[in-house]
Structure 1
Amino acid sequence: MGNYKRRMIWFSEIRWDFLMTRKQQILKRFPKYWKILFIEPVVLGKKTHFIPKRENNIYIVTIPYLRGSNKNFLSKFISNNGIVSVFIKTFGELIALFWIYILGFSGKDKVVALSSIHWGDFASKLKAKVKFYDCNDDHLKFAENCPWAREFLLRYLKTCNFMTYVSEELDKKIQEICCIESFFVGNGVDFEHFNKRKESPEVIQKIKRPIIGYAGTIDYIDTSLLSLIAEKYKDFSIVLIGPEIRGTFIINFIKKEKYPNIYYLGKIDYEDLPGFVQNFDVAIIPFRKDEISKSLNPNKLYEYLAAGLPVVTMDYSAKFRELNNVIYVARDREEFVEMIRKALRDKKVEERSETAKGYDWNMKTKQLIEIIQNYLC
């Protein structure tokens, strides 16, 4: 193991370079004596790491694997063709075993963490001192068109020591599948990164104030709600920041609806993001209300608060209602729109920032490490 005292393999549902999510935030804060292998999925048209990339004590490798669904012709073909499915699964597992051995992660003396349920069957067979499932989203709902996802997750859960979860709703869903010891390790924020004042980027300085802003994955936005906001606040600017999973989803929407007050700035590097967010006058979380949103506890909520911004959102989950003393929680679209004007007058900057301090990633990482250590003893 060299200079490393501990080893961990993390099977991830998203790419390392996609967005700065809880996985990257937590793993980057692990002590340097932890050697970590981060296995990420292939996403067509996106950067891959078929040859492992190293960031300090973390090794990132891209491995093609079985992720069937009904989203497109290729996915349908894979899902419905047993021979092809077995081939892709076996091919991916052989590559995984190769890198696990070459990079020094073989043997039982390691921790296995999983947030990609598609790897559940493979991960259930790996030897490890400790195994856990990080339930950071409604993974089964996202994979509902994948016929083997539930069974793969169940196989893995039966070999797990514990599970971490980000909302009570998610814990309840998993407990219905498999009774497992669980710990709440919610999402959080790099407080100093978002709280410390940054220089305003030129591109946002040119946009008319006040600014109603959103920063996050674009595809989850409720465009019907966005339309109501754009029509109600025609003299305001609506700034959207973040990557699109579906390509030109939001650009097509803006062109079709012809909203001159909506500005889509694309994905902004995480290091530069606070400079944009701090220029919002009101921050919004305008997601669709559906089964997936019922278990929401997004990082952006705490990032907005760390920046001292008034936040308008909906009562998606218990976590939002719990924070209704520092954020504006609407019951429906109409109330959401009306709350924006009220939020503009809100001056409780320090109260919001103080709230965000309690969700710093350093605390979350320490909590997870302590849980793991208790099982290693």
Structure 2
Amino acid sequence: MRNGVGVRNAGESGSIVALDKRPVLICFSHLRWDFVFQRPQHLMCRFARSHSVHVWEEPIFVSALIEPHLETRRAASNLTIVTPHLAEGLSEEAVEAQLKRLLDGYHAAQNPQVLWYYTPMMLPFSQQLEADCVVYDCMDELANFRFAPPRLLELESELFERADLVFTGGYSLYEAKKSRHGSAHPFPSSVDIKHFAQARAIPTENTVPTFGFYGVLDERFDIDLLAAIAEARPDYRFIMVGPIVKISPDELPKRDNIFYPGPAAYEDLPGLLAEWDVALMPFAINEATKFISPTKTPEYLAAGKPVVSTPIRDVVRHYGRLEGVKIAATPEEFVQGCDEALALIRSDGEWLAEVDQALSSMSWDITQARMAGLIARVVEDSPASVEAVA
């Protein structure tokens, strides 16, 4: 067993990460841990209460790198982030070969209980690993996103064959995937209610009606819609928070009443939300948004902010009946929704009782516990478990 081969602990070059006796969960994620705090982070932090969790990120390519290696760091108790560093200019085959060698030498890969995939693209260098349970947590239809890898659909089919469990990030995605696996389960976006409810207790004195969005600004963001509502309501202020990805900053509309402050940390979101009157979800209606179930919907509501959204299928399905959620298909309807939501936030707040009831069973703790229960059943029925009992 080659424990620690090729592994460097960031800040402590050459040291070996200590083994622990908890069952091991290796999570293969295309989303960097420090990018945006969302579904993978919520779930892996909770699984770290019972497992030794190792989140394997996409490689960082470095010029003039002499030897490929892993850098690891502790993100939380029992939760390690693993980042491969490879030389620039490698072929796809060489990348996969080096990643396989690094993974085979990583101590957690010697006896994992759970292999958890967010992307099929990490299957080629990890398919040699055995585990009691393989999970494919399909949080998005990645094949519909801009710049999707050509092999993604082929590898997803292989992952469906390998997986014991398939979780989906929403009901629309579940309906699209359930026929492909015998144990598929919908787990739409959940919320840390206590965290976001802090926004309700923070006093604000907006002199200008303020509308906000936080999230990734990419091909799913309706640029033309934002420009139209900003022009229609020049006396409203629009704050678009988040990283710009896969689109040029020059594509975003520039108006005196639109602001792009950049990304915000998860712990700062309640304070950010407190400064808004209304939360927006101006998503484009396209292939990339066909199956999304935005995490921010319950977060906005937990913060006590009414929401104006384009007709994203899962938003309409789960939240369209709430008084605090306005669904708008055209720029004119969106402007009207903004006006109605602004009036609602200035009302007596009775609409929040309905919101709180809708959110009461949507915590990440509940979602993770249900997932853990399904995994436990698979583990109990695994050959290794049966042999141990015998």
TM range (shorter): 0.7 to 0.9
Conserved 8 A contact 1:185-1:367 = no
Conserved 8 A contact 2:29-2:117 = yes
1:92-103 equivalent positions in 2, closer than 5 A: 92-99=99-106, 101=107
Q: Note the alpha carbon deviations across 1:208-251, whole angstroms, 9 max, x for none.
A: 521011111122321100011101110010011112224862xx
Q: CA deviation at 1:2?
A: 6.2
Task: Pick one of 330, 335, 350 that aligns with 2:353.
Answer: 350
Distance 2:164 2:54 in 1: 20
Q: Which residue of 2 aligns with 1:35?
A: 52
Q: Which residue of 1 aligns with 2:137?
A: 134
Conserved 8 A contact 2:48-2:79 = no
Q: Which residue of 1 aligns with 2:165?
A: 162
SS state at 1:186 partner: coil
Distance 2:248 2:61 in 1: 15
Task: Pick one of 29, 40, 52 that aligns with 2:72.
Answer: 52
Q: Note the alpha carbon deviations across 1:321-342, whole angstroms, 9 max, x for none.
A: 3311221112333312221111
Distance 2:171 2:165 in 1: 15
Which residue identity does 1:106 align to in structure 2?
Answer: Q
Q: CA deviation at 1:197?
A: 3.7
Q: CA deviation at 1:3?
A: 4.9
Q: Note the alpha carbon deviations across 1:102-154, whole angstroms, 9 max, x for none.
A: xx3313x5110100121123333320110010010112223775222222222
Distance 2:376 2:307 in 1: 37
Task: Pick one of 363, 366, 370 that aligns with 1:363.
Answer: 366
Distance 2:148 2:237 in 1: 38
Q: How many residues align?
A: 348
Q: Which residue of 1 aligns with 2:211?
A: 212
1:319-330 equivalent positions in 2, closer than 5 A: 319-326=315-322, 327-330=325-328
Q: Which residue of 2 aligns with 1:11?
A: 28
Conserved 8 A contact 1:208-1:236 = no
Conserved 8 A contact 1:195-1:353 = no
Task: Pick one of 189, 192, 195 that aligns with 1:193.
Answer: 195
1:165-314 equivalent positions in 2, closer than 5 A: 165-175=168-178, 178-197=180-199, 208-219=207-218, 220-246=220-246, 249=249, 252-253=250-251, 257-314=253-310
Q: CA deviation at 1:305?
A: 0.6
Q: Note the alpha carbon deviations across 1:295-354, whole angstroms, 9 max, x for none.
A: 111110010010111101022113423311221112333312221111112241332233
Q: Note the alpha carbon deviations across 1:46-96, whole angstroms, 9 max, x for none.
A: xxx94100121011011268xxxxxxxx9xxx8xxxx82211221222222
Conserved 8 A contact 1:185-1:364 = yes
Conserved 8 A contact 1:117-1:139 = no
Q: CA deviation at 1:369?
A: 0.9
Conserved 8 A contact 1:186-1:297 = yes
- Which contiguous aligned blocks of 4+ residues in structure 1 show a shift greater than 4 angstroms? 198-201
Q: Which residue of 1 aligns with 2:42?
A: 25
Which residue identity does 2:192 align to in structure 1?
Answer: D
SS state at 1:218 partner: coil
Larger radius of gyration: 2
Q: Which residue of 1 aligns with 2:109?
A: 105
Conserved 8 A contact 1:212-1:281 = yes
Residues 374 and 285 (structure 1), Cα distance of their counterparts in 2 relative to 1, 3 Å cut: same
Which residue identity does 1:335 align to in structure 2?
Answer: E
Residues 50 and 5 (structure 1), Cα distance of their counterparts in 2 relative to 1, 3 Å cut: closer
SS state at 2:275 partner: coil
Distance 1:241 1:200 in 2: 19
Conserved 8 A contact 1:121-1:153 = no
Distance 1:20 1:222 in 2: 22
Which residue identity does 1:188 align to in structure 2?
Answer: S
Q: CA deviation at 1:362?
A: 1.1
Distance 1:296 1:316 in 2: 7
Conserved 8 A contact 2:200-2:303 = no
Which residue identity does 2:261 align to in structure 1?
Answer: L
Conserved 8 A contact 1:303-1:356 = no
Residues 11 and 218 (structure 1), Cα distance of their counterparts in 2 relative to 1, 3 Å cut: same
Q: CA deviation at 1:199?
A: 8.0
Q: CA deviation at 1:279?
A: 1.9
SS state at 1:196 partner: helix
Range with bigger deviation, 354-363 or 298-307: 354-363
Distance 1:341 1:180 in 2: 46
Q: Structure 1 unaligned runs (5+)?
A: 66-73
Distance 1:285 1:235 in 2: 20
Conserved 8 A contact 1:309-1:352 = no
Conserved 8 A contact 2:177-2:184 = no
Q: Which residue of 2 aligns with 1:70?
A: none
Which residue identity does 2:96 align to in structure 1?
Answer: K
Distance 1:291 1:209 in 2: 35
Q: CA RMSD in A?
A: 2.7
Q: Structure 2 unaligned runs (5+)?
A: 1-17, 63-68, 381-390
Q: Note the alpha carbon deviations across 1:228-282, whole angstroms, 9 max, x for none.
A: 1101110010011112224862xx346xx54101111111111111101122111
Conserved 8 A contact 1:306-1:357 = no
Residues 31 and 179 (structure 1), Cα distance of their counterparts in 2 relative to 1, 3 Å cut: closer
Q: CA deviation at 1:9?
A: 0.5
